[in-house]
Amino acid sequence: MQKPCCGEEPEETFPKKSAEEIKEEVKMRYGKFAEEGGSAEGCCPLVGEKTESFALEHGLYSQEDLALIPKLAINLSRGCGNPTSFADIQPGEAVADFGCGGGIDLVLAAHKVGPTGKVIGIDFALHMQER
């Protein structure tokens, strides 16, 4: 039996929800996160005290990368990874980021594609898009 990402309970003990109920819950939680910034929970509560930024706490980005990123984007990060560190993004390319959140990877990709490239961010949570 596999355990979920953040809990001690086996997956079978979670209540069954419809796809629509799950979508609404995700929208609500990430909408709340967009409004409250780094002090709110994302998909799973952080262990221990909440910090200003998941990305900073887990060292996902270099200091050089962090210098390019607006503070709001850092605060809104849920830190799913740093795809721009290993993606072979070239000047002039088009890059799409699905689930872009606060936009850290959008900013970094924009620096790599330069003025002749294009970067598109897509996020499920309308509040996140508005930020």
Mean pLDDT, rounded, for 80-105: 89
- For the entire predicted model, the pTM comes to 0.67
Mean pLDDT, rounded, for 102-126: 91
Q: Is 105 a member of any domain?
A: yes
Q: Which of 25-34, 83-92, 108-117 has the lowest mean pLDDT?
A: 25-34
CB 107, CB 72: distance < 8 Å = no
The b-or-e profile of 78-112 (16+ CB within 10 A means b, else e) is bbeebebeeeebeeebebebeebbbbbbbbbbbeb
Look at residue 112 in the predicted model and tell me its pLDDT: 97
Number of domain units in the chain: 1
Class of residue 19 by CB neighbours under 10 A (exposed 0-12, middle 13-18, buried 19+): exposed
Mean pLDDT, rounded, for 29-53: 59
- pLDDT at residue 113 greater than cutoff 70: yes
> Residue 58 sits in which domain range?
18-130
Mean pLDDT, rounded, for 103-120: 95
- pLDDT at residue 48 greater than cutoff 50: no
Q: Is 11 a member of any domain?
A: no
Mean pLDDT, rounded, for 1-7: 54
Q: Is 9 a member of any domain?
A: no
The pLDDT confidence band at residue 128, using thresholds 50, 70 and 90, is low
